[in-house]
Amino acid sequence: MGLVVGIERISDILPMPPSVQKFFEDIFTKDVFSIISVVIAAPIMEELLCRGIVLGGLLKNYPPYKAILISALFFALIHLNPWQALPAFFSGLFLGWIFYKTKSVIPGMIIHATNNGLVMLFVFLPKNKQDLLNLLGMPYYIVLCVLAAIVFVGGCFIIDRKTAPVRVNQ
């Protein structure tokens, strides 16, 4: 949730044209196939490709910061549009760091599925309530942002402390 709140505001930097928004609304419907595709299939496939294969390979040849950056750019590019690419890039940085620290795609799959699941929940809300600010109102949104930041930073701290120190071969 800490990631979703931050990423949601990044999505608003580039407003989506109405025609593109309609296209996405038509693709991501309220049916079981869309939900399974977005919440289960996409996180598994994208994490295996972007973190397991691409980042795993890059980490063998580049310093971690460079490998994570390149894999995040790749993750952004495979989303094929600027309205998803910017949030995907920042998510990719975080998911890349998670992969680097844990040496596993499983935590990334869980985080990715949770993120996509929360985004899919908004599809079921009325159009004027499909973002957190409109849904909650400003006072509760500010509280949520603070709590999300605390959870995100705290989670990163815990992951950093609980994972073995990473040896870098360069």
What is the spatial distance between Cα 132 and Cα 137, in angstroms, rounded to a whole number?
8
| Alpha-carbon gap, residue 132 to 1, rounded angstroms | 11
What local confidence, expressed as pLDDT, does residue 166 receive? 63
Tokens of 24: 């996405």
Q: What is the pTM of this model?
A: 0.87
pLDDT of residue 1: 67
**Average pLDDT per block of 10 residues along the chain, 170 residues long:** 74 77 77 92 98 98 97 95 88 97 96 91 81 87 91 92 69
- Among the residues of 47-137, which ranges form H helices? 56-61, 64-77, 82-102, 106-123, 132-136
Confidence at residue 167, expressed as pLDDT on a 0 to 100 scale: 62
Cα–Cα distance for residue pair 66/18, rounded to 1 Å: 36
What is the C-alpha separation between 164 and 132, in angstroms, rounded?
A: 36
